Structure 1
Amino acid sequence: MLTLLAPDGRSRAGELCIRALDAAEHRALLASRPDASFLQFPSWAGVKEGWASESVGWHGASGVPEGAALVLYRQFPGTRKYFAYIPEGPVADWASHDIDRWMRPLMAHLRASGAFAVRIGPSPAYRVWDAARLKAATGPGRRIGDVLATAVDPLGTAVSERLRARGWRRCGEDGDGDAQPRYVFQVPLTGRTPGDLWSGLNQEWRRNVRRARRAGVEVVTGGASDLPEFHRLLRITEERDGFRLGRSLAYYQRQFTVLNAEQPGRMRLRLAVHEGEVLAAHTMIVTPGRVWYQTGASADHRREVRPSNALQWQMLLDSQALGAQVYDMRGVPSTLDPDDRSHGLLRWKLGTGGRLVETLGEWEIPLGGAANNALYRAFHAYLARR
């Protein structure tokens, strides 16, 4: 893994300065931020092949980091310039009315590091819909954006306005330009008991979990040796459901090794076993305050014993027992059309009784100057050809 060190120097009075963080400092800061994404932990750099990386923090007069960012750098072919990417970050004070206080030194640092443009993923939510509202709005040609939100986050609205005013561009109006999902499905856990979670499931989910129990489906914890079976089931799932993640077995093996080297149990593999055969396998990622369901896979046969429902119910219980505030089921499609093939994933997640959250998505900006602007346009043309 390459490391690009932050330039040293003094900040103006009252401003923050950027300095490199070692992995321990970075993890310590994120441990105090329960909403921080797993994509901002230093271990994620080890998952991303072909990217240079660095951990940086904002420091004021006290010398204690006030925020942090894992920055990934992709070199533009044939140049010494980089596209900088901060996935689902930075972890910073988005509520501050003066975001320039920390944004300005970040931009200066990235420019000095050879970046011609940067993409970020601000953490505030934008809009929220409860499951009942979306279920009622399902219909031909309907999309999530057509439905009045249950709640609009004023912080998300303010951050969006501040970024636009500073020249940032949102990547795609419906999330199609984002590398990370704009629409995610979450189940709140704070203050809820297992009984509350059970009551939150719809009737179909409760029926399916009971069916799995009666059929003898057993949920167990897998290890690295079970990843080939998980990946085999994933290929079956991709073919059946008409999507393609394009991730190799080696990718998941690297992810499992790197994340668990940083913190044992950070990435877990849960298996649904029936009559000695693994019928479904799901991965989950654990950080302080949050658990993510990352990738799910299942066999084409014996689906009537509902192994995936059994897995998800156990993972919900695991998350609650770990003290997580949120169980994040990650991305869902924006369609509410029941005839759209991808709608099935949203319908399945709606059954948990959680909420759909529209994040602010990802935002980009070139880092000033005619040369960087030209390279930014060329970079997007290069991506389009790929």
Structure 2
Amino acid sequence: MCALLVNAPHRHQEREPAVRSLSVPEYRAFLSRHGRASFLQYPSWAEVKDLWRSERVGWHYPGGEISGAALVLYRQFPGTRKYFAYLPEGPVVDWSDPRLDQWLGPLLRHLRAAGAFAVRMGPAPAYRRWDAAAVKAGAGPGRRLSDVLATEVDPVGAALADRLRTRGWKRCGGEDDGDAQPRHVFRVPLAGRSLDDLWTGLNQEWRRNVRKAEKAGVETVVGTAADLPEFYRLLRITEERDGFRLGRSLAYYERQYEVLNAEEPGRMRLYLGVHRGEILAAHTMITAGSRVWYQTGASADHRREVRPSNALQWRMMCDAHALGADEYDMRGVPSTLDPDDRPFGLLRWKLGTGGQVVETLGEWETPVDGYTNTALYKAFQAYLARR
């Protein structure tokens, strides 16, 4: 995207781009050129979130090419004509551009005209990264990721956080709450690596478990929409066993599968780990541009010794590699490094793939009309908390 700005005529550098609504073809063409947008910024995601009104917007100079874009979801505050605007893992713009007001100013004016009283967004740049070795070395009673020196601090992310704060944007919540999307994620780099590199990147326990699944006869297959009820049954078992609740219905996953694959066949896949004719594990994977995400995993309580989940993850990583993805994003992990904390088990499992814990910039909010709608903004936050 930087190239789009660099190649623009010089007179555009001193002018502010305009924001306007985009047609679906215009928006998809921009995402195709960009290639790094989150699946949450694709038009299909608006159809998944059917309780929200949606709009696709783009930044452009007069007569020029679209230089940034965003999927905006609007949620009406009951009893009012005002909307909360949400840009999940967006907008898709050149965040390295120090002229941040050129992006945010036109956006806020557009949202205000659309009736928004507040906006939440999730900028794409990472903030900090920890490799698996650093996380393992830092684990201990009472320890958290913030107690461990990061392997890398992203200069773009660090600068952007400062710029947002000086403009009155507030970072949502704490380390593990307040964001609609996970702040800490786990990513396995794929670019420039062979399958042998990925295999040797797994720790000994992971390689042993993948081999154990193969020896036990676990089959990894791609399922269909007809297998979603079994996936959901296993998900409820997993939620009960591991002490969490996603709060999604079977209908939600059926709708997600339908609309994502209608947009592009194979965008959402359901992988099944089958042993002796029984589905023991089921994981979902989403692809968009040059990125692949492991979204949700579920497994049975019995026959866990044949390691179906390890087999599925290795199959999914191999398929992501075959698709030419730059990375395999395993989504959220907790920030706790205390082995006695129940959530640490999920982090420990993902660490075995040899990837990195990435702290994103998280989600940021601001009232659209400054102090005018502060009371409405606080009331809406309380409404969301109750829900």
TM-score normalised per structure 1: 0.96
Q: Tell me what 1:161 maps to.
A: 162
Q: Tell me what 2:123 maps to.
A: 122
Shift of 1:12: 12
Q: Tell me what 2:26 maps to.
A: 25
User: Structure 2, unaligned stretches of length 5 or more?
Assistant: 1-11
Q: Tell me what 2:8 maps to.
A: none
- The alpha-carbon distance between structure 1 residues 165 and 310, as it changes in their structure 2 partners (threshold 3 A), is same
In 2, are the aligned partners of 1:93 and 1:99 still within 8 Å (CA)?
no
- Separation (CA, whole Å) in 1 of partners of 2:125 and 2:301: 38
In 2, are the aligned partners of 1:175 and 1:361 still within 8 Å (CA)?
no
- Separation (CA, whole Å) in 2 of partners of 1:52 and 1:12: 33
Shift of 1:372: 1.3
Matches within 5 A, 1:63-142: 63-142=64-143
Shift of 1:59: 1.1
Q: Secondary structure at the match of 1:196?
A: helix
Provide Cα deviations, 1:52-86, integer angstroms capped at 9, x if missing partner.
00001111133321111000000001000000000
**Which amino acid in structure 1 is aligned with residue 236 of structure 2?**
R
- Separation (CA, whole Å) in 2 of partners of 1:176 and 1:370: 25
Q: Tell me what 1:213 maps to.
A: 214
Q: Tell me what 1:285 maps to.
A: 286
- Separation (CA, whole Å) in 2 of partners of 1:385 and 1:320: 41
Provide Cα deviations, 1:86-113, integer angstroms capped at 9, x if missing partner.
0000001101010111211100000000
Q: Does 1:298 align with 2:306?
A: no
**Which amino acid in structure 1 is aligned with residue 334 of structure 2?**
P
Q: Tell me what 1:37 maps to.
A: 38
- Separation (CA, whole Å) in 1 of partners of 2:228 and 2:349: 24
**Which amino acid in structure 1 is aligned with residue 165 of structure 2?**
R
Q: Tell me what 1:326 maps to.
A: 327
In 1, are the aligned partners of 2:72 and 2:86 still within 8 Å (CA)?
yes
Q: Tell me what 1:339 maps to.
A: 340
**Which amino acid in structure 1 is aligned with residue 133 of structure 2?**
A
- Separation (CA, whole Å) in 2 of partners of 1:217 and 1:229: 17
Q: Secondary structure at the match of 1:61?
A: coil
In 1, are the aligned partners of 2:119 and 2:366 still within 8 Å (CA)?
yes
In 1, are the aligned partners of 2:176 and 2:334 still within 8 Å (CA)?
no
**Which amino acid in structure 1 is aligned with residue 52 of structure 2?**
W
Percent of residue pairs bearing the same amino acid type: 71
In 1, are the aligned partners of 2:30 and 2:69 still within 8 Å (CA)?
yes
In 2, are the aligned partners of 1:167 and 1:365 still within 8 Å (CA)?
yes
Shift of 1:369: 4.6
Q: Which moved more, 1:305-314 or 1:62-71?
A: 62-71
- Separation (CA, whole Å) in 1 of partners of 2:201 and 2:14: 51
Q: Secondary structure at the match of 2:98?
A: coil
Q: Which moved more, 1:146-155 or 1:360-369?
A: 360-369
Q: Tell me what 1:254 maps to.
A: 255
Q: Tell me what 1:16 maps to.
A: 17
Q: Tell me what 2:242 maps to.
A: 241
- Separation (CA, whole Å) in 2 of partners of 1:352 and 1:175: 22
- Separation (CA, whole Å) in 2 of partners of 1:158 and 1:151: 14
Q: Tell me what 1:353 maps to.
A: 354
Q: Tell me what 1:203 maps to.
A: 204
In 2, are the aligned partners of 1:367 and 1:373 still within 8 Å (CA)?
no
Q: Secondary structure at the match of 1:327?
A: strand
- Separation (CA, whole Å) in 2 of partners of 1:86 and 1:122: 9
Q: Tell me what 2:57 maps to.
A: 56
Provide Cα deviations, 1:338-386, integer angstroms capped at 9, x if missing partner.
1111110000000000000000000000012544111101111222333
Provide Cα deviations, 1:166-188, integer angstroms capped at 9, x if missing partner.
00000023141100000000000
- Separation (CA, whole Å) in 2 of partners of 1:41 and 1:217: 34
User: Structure 1, unaligned stretches of length 5 or more?
Assistant: 1-10
Q: Secondary structure at the match of 1:107?
A: helix
In 2, are the aligned partners of 1:183 and 1:357 still within 8 Å (CA)?
yes
In 2, are the aligned partners of 1:53 and 1:71 still within 8 Å (CA)?
yes
Q: Does 1:224 align with 2:225?
A: yes
- Separation (CA, whole Å) in 2 of partners of 1:167 and 1:123: 19
**Which amino acid in structure 1 is aligned with residue 294 of structure 2?**
Y
Q: Tell me what 1:274 maps to.
A: 275
Q: Tell me what 2:264 maps to.
A: 263
- The alpha-carbon distance between structure 1 residues 297 and 135, as it changes in their structure 2 partners (threshold 3 A), is same
- Separation (CA, whole Å) in 1 of partners of 2:386 and 2:25: 39
Q: Which moved more, 1:225-234 or 1:360-369?
A: 360-369
Which runs of 4 or more aligned residues in structure 1 lie more than 6 Å from their structure 2 counterparts after TM superposition?
Answer: none
TM-score normalised per structure 2: 0.95
Q: Which moved more, 1:23-32 or 1:288-297?
A: 23-32
- Separation (CA, whole Å) in 2 of partners of 1:362 and 1:344: 25
